Amino acid sequence: MADKRIFEIYRYDPDTDAKPRMQTYEVELDGSERMLLDALMKLKKQDDSISFRRSCREGVCGSDAMNINGKNGLACLTNMLTLPQKVTLRPLPGLPVVRDLIVDMSQFFKQYHSIKPYIVNETPPPEKERLQSQEDREELNGLYECILCACCSTSCPSFWWNPDKFVGPAGLLAAYRFIADSRDQVKEERLENLEDPYRLFRCHTIMNCVDVCPKGLNPTKAIGKIKEMLVKRA
Amino acid sequence: MAQTIHKYDAVVVGAGGAGMRCSLQLAKAGLRVAVLSKVFPTRSHTVAAQGGIGASLGNMDEDNWHYHFYDTVKGSDWLGDQDAIEFMCREAPKVVYELEHMGMPFDRNPDGTIYQRPFGGHSAKYGEKPVPRACAAADRTGHAMLHTLYQNNVRNKTQFFVEWMALDLIRDSEGDVVGVTALEMETGEVAIFHAKCVLLATGGAGRIFAASTNAFINTGDGLGMAARAGIPLEDMEFWQFHPTGVHNAGVLLTEGCRGEGAILRNKHGERFMERYAPKLKDLAPRDFVSRCMDQEIKEGRGCGPNGDYIALDLTHLGGETIMKRLPSVHEIGKNFANVDVIKEPIPVVPTIHYQMGGVPTNIHGQVVVPKNGTPNSIINGLYAIGEASCVSVHGANRLGTNSLLDLLVFGRAAGNHLIDTALASKSHKPLPANAADYSLSRIDVLDKSSGGEYPQDVANDLRKTMQLHAGVFRTQASMDEGVSKVLAIDERAKHLSLKDKSKIFNTARIEALEVANLMEAAKATMVSAAARKESRGAHTVDDYGDTPEHPLGRNDVEWMKHTLWYSEGNRLDYKPVNLKPLTVESIPPVKRTF
């Protein structure tokens, strides 16, 4: 049951390489490597210099996002059976490369931080929990589950062009998560913060974000709701 | 070359639930605090917790902290310290309400209160019946909690050093901790963090085992740092096997499955837990359920062609409940077992999940060691919280949901205590000369290495050995053999070799440094386990079975005591269990039945 695969991997170590290159590896899988991450770990045994992030290996920490045969995804949730014999791995597009498959995510997190990702409620809290109806809580489903892997934002052409000005799908999904929370008191300021030709309106509903989200979330829908609220406000 | 020195009031090592609950407290108090983390904070392993946070809110059924206290003491098989357990259970509702106020997206009841589900070992009226006590956000409670804590740290401008790996504690001539060294992964540079207090919140070392629910990053870095600095590790023989890890994948399926009504079945389809635990059934504590599953498999009633797993049956819960309450379980079933849990049972086996032991502390999170005849003498400037610590609230077996609770309660408590300490000491104690030399020499050895073994080859041998000799099924002979094998691997680990010598984000170097920490955790586990001649909680040894004198193999006369393992010479010491709670009557030890 030999399963021989060809891996073509983007390699770049600024310490030693003048420019990036693609390196080809051959690896024989024995069936125990269910996911791409398992195969990558096996490959790293052959060449310990291949660099990538990884942690939970079950799709909840968001570390191992990469570009897999042209599409962003998590290595730990990509089943080897779904991949062809040749697998091409590149770093997430549009962000500076630190080394190999590791990108500098500062810009991505800067945008996330820019939407004030926390509940603001200045009413002194009760002794117990703030009550929230089941319907109000359900508004948060499909929003709070984001793992900040950046698959969406780095698949978005608008983010590629304006990573410093466009909040991007992940940041906007988070923005709507707080707008939609019945416990938050600063919806107006949140909308204000996004009313800008770039921050929100660079989204042209290309929907790459929806296509790649490993958690099955829908940033485009959340962005649509924010746009709707802004229109109503106007 | 002189190292960069960063100066802070406090340095928190680790940005999981415990570290970030603590740093939040510090940042709010206006302290200069640095949080070092190997990974971006929301990637810490707290993110993988699923089921809930234990607190006797009583939102869905009558409950109070006394019941929670009793369950936790009994769950710990009387190895937990009852002062710490009382403190945790009393504080529980407060820290959960605080988290809700911070924006945690808890599930809700029709009256708008926080939804709670039953969980293993949690009961009403002192063991009478299961009680819903686990405060849950679907089956993503850890994810929701970790993100909420990160978000609130962002709001309070906590300074994070992301992708910095802490290397060693810096102790001065009086033994006080005055800082840590750390490696910036992106540049490969080592810096000194000079601080009034250092807090270890580095999580567990679950990666010393081959089959584990734990993330790759769980390499016991804080344990290694403490052990190398001469600080003992407590109760490391106690490792929790979670009953429901996905067969052949290790990925966790929350106990919340059984909290919502899922049933464990053997190959005859029998709900076998009814035989072992007539009252709590599938919701008995984890050590107990894991042993029953093991028993079923050993006696030939396991499922599958090799009879080597148990079936977790959720099918009667219905698609709607599963998709609402256990959506991630559905996703995991699909991804890691090709099973639609709505339609068919999923194969599970007991899988290493949680380290009950750790760096010994008191209820303020201060690290304590025996000195001049006092068993709990404080080490100035050093704190530990969360899975890295042993306070000890979990004793020989942790109850589900008490880990997230532990992070919140002791993260907050240590934060408050640190604020008082750090503010009380007006200036930093001076750094010793050449404070970074020890760390630098460890890195230098790796940079000059050639011809030795690869770190991962050694680590994999270690993991296989630990799995075989310190697993769910232990015998004295096997543990004794394990000790000599682990010590032999320790020798190999001193001669690791890297091919990759780059300065930039060198993950091979990081892994080699992690192996040093894994080794300390593994030696502590193996040596402590082989020395404990009884069965208690998760440490169940075939040689020490159920007798009238020693119910279920537990020997309270000789072994109701905490183990302390010192790295130097693999020396063992012991200290008494604190059976005296803070304000209530002690719970006297009895035989554990459920």
The 10s digit of each residue's pLDDT in B193-246 is 999 999 999 999 999 999 899 999 999 999 999 999 999 999 999 999 999 999
Contact residues on chain A for B144, CB-CB shorter than 8 A: 144
pTM score over 0.90 = yes
What would the pLDDT profile of B376-414 be if each residue is shown by its tens digit?
999 999 999 999 999 999 999 999 999 999 999 999 999
| pLDDT score of B1 more than 60 | no
HEC readout, chain A: CCEEEEEEEEECCCCCCCCCEEEEEEEEECCCCCEHHHHHHHHHHHCCCCCCCCCCCCCCCCCCEEEECCEEEEHHHCEHHHCCCEEEEECCCCCCEEECCEECCHHHHHHHHHCCCCCCCCCCCCCCCCCCCHHHHHCCCCCCCCCCCCCCHHHCHHHHHCCCCCCHHHHHHHHHHHHCCCCCCCHHHHHHHHCCCCCCCCCCCCCHHHHHCCCCCCHHHHHHHHHHHHHHHC
pLDDT at residue B2 in the model: 78
For β-strands B4-13 and B33-37, DSSP reports them as parallel
Report CB contact under 8 Å: B505, A48.
no
- Residue B253 and residue B53: Cα distance in Å, rounded? 16
Which residue do the tokens 């390196």 mark?
A23
- Residue A80 and residue A31: Cα distance in Å, rounded? 9
Number of neighbouring beta carbons within 10 Å of residue A195: 14
ipTM of the complex: 0.98
Report CB contact under 8 Å: B151, A121.
no
The mean per-residue pLDDT over the stretch B503-508 comes to: 96
Report CB contact under 8 Å: B47, A147.
yes
Q: How far is B157 from chain A (nearest CA, A)?
A: 11
| pLDDT score of B416 more than 80 | yes
pLDDT at residue A233 in the model: 84
- Residue B237 and residue B368: Cα distance in Å, rounded? 19
User: Torsion over CA of A143, A144, A145 and A148, rounded to 10 degrees?
Assistant: 90
What would the pLDDT profile of B568-593 be if each residue is shown by its tens digit?
999 999 999 999 999 999 999 999 98
Q: What are all long-range contacts of A198-203, with beta carbons under 8 Å and residues at least 24 apart?
A: A198/A162, A198/A165, A198/A166, A199/A114, A199/A165, A199/A166, A199/A167, A200/A167, A200/A172, A200/A226, A200/A227, A200/A230, A201/A227, A202/A158, A202/A161, A202/A162, A202/A165, A202/A166, A203/A156, A203/A158, A203/A166, A203/A169, A203/A172
pLDDT at residue B162 in the model: 98
pLDDT at residue B472 in the model: 83
The residue among B95, B158, B219, B505 with the most chain A CBs within 10 A of its CB, best to mutate, is: B505
- Between residues B422 and B102, the one the model is more confident about: B102
pLDDT at residue B130 in the model: 94
Which residue do the tokens 């009478």 mark?
B128
Nearest CA in chain B to A32: B248
| pLDDT score of B557 more than 90 | yes
What would the pLDDT profile of B342-380 be if each residue is shown by its tens digit?
999 999 999 999 999 999 999 999 999 999 999 999 999
Q: How far is B205 from chain A (nearest CA, A)?
A: 13
Nearest CA in chain B to A60: B48
| pLDDT score of A2 more than 80 | no
Beta bridge partners of B488: none
The two tokens of residue A166 are 């466009």
Fill in the amino acid letter for B456: Q
pLDDT at residue B451 in the model: 86
pLDDT at residue B78 in the model: 98
- Residue B60 and residue B14: Cα distance in Å, rounded? 35
Q: How far is B216 from chain A (nearest CA, A)?
A: 5
Angstrom distances, CA of residue B441 to CA of A65, A80, B1, B445, B454: 34, 41, 13, 6, 19
Cβ pairs A/B, distance under 8 A: 149
Report CB contact under 8 Å: B103, A102.
no
- Residue A126 and residue B97: Cα distance in Å, rounded? 9
Fill in the amino acid letter for A47: D
Number of neighbouring beta carbons within 10 Å of residue B376: 16
Which residue do the tokens 């300074």 mark?
B159
| pLDDT score of A1 more than 60 | no
CB B419 within 8 A of CB B49: no
Mean pLDDT of chain B: 96
Beta bridge partners of B501: none
Question: Which residues of B are known to be catalytic?
Answer: 286
Nearest CA in chain A to B500: A49
Contact residues on chain B for A59, CB-CB shorter than 8 A: 331, 335
Angstrom distances, CA of residue A217 to CA of A212, B321, B529: 9, 20, 46
Of B357, B362, B356, give the one whose Cα is nearest residue B87: B362
What would the pLDDT profile of B232-265 be if each residue is shown by its tens digit?
999 999 999 999 999 999 899 999 999 999 999 9
Quick one: CA dihedral B457, B461, B462, B466, positive or negative?
positive
- Give the 3-state secondary structure of residue B447: helix
What would the pLDDT profile of B424-434 be if each residue is shown by its tens digit?
777 999 999 99
Residue B42 is nearest to which of A127, A136, A148, comparing CB atoms? A148
- Give the 3-state secondary structure of residue B224: helix
Residue B152 is nearest to which of A62, A118, A136, comparing CB atoms? A118
Q: How far is A180 from chain B (nearest CA, A)?
A: 12
Burial of A205 (0-12, 13-18, 19+ CB in 10 A): exposed
User: In chain A, how long is the greatest CA-to-CA distance?
Assistant: 64
Of A74, A91, A58, A73, give the one whose Cα is nearest residue B216: A58
What would the pLDDT profile of A3-25 be if each residue is shown by its tens digit?
899 999 999 999 899 999 999 99
Please give the radius of gyration of chain B, using alpha carbons only, rounded to the nearest integer.
23
- H helices of B266-326, where? 273-276, 286-298, 319-325
- Residue B17 and residue B414: Cα distance in Å, rounded? 13
- Give the 3-state secondary structure of residue B197: strand
Report CB contact under 8 Å: A60, B336.
no
| pLDDT score of B422 more than 80 | no
The two tokens of residue A155 are 């698949």
What would the pLDDT profile of A73-94 be if each residue is shown by its tens digit?
999 999 999 999 999 999 999 9
- Between residues B546 and B421, the one the model is more confident about: B546
The two tokens of residue B207 are 């990666």
Residue A58 is nearest to which of B96, B107, B332, comparing CB atoms? B332
Q: For chain B, what percent of residues have pLDDT higher than 70?
A: 100
pLDDT band at residue B331 using 50, 70 and 90 as cut-offs:
very high
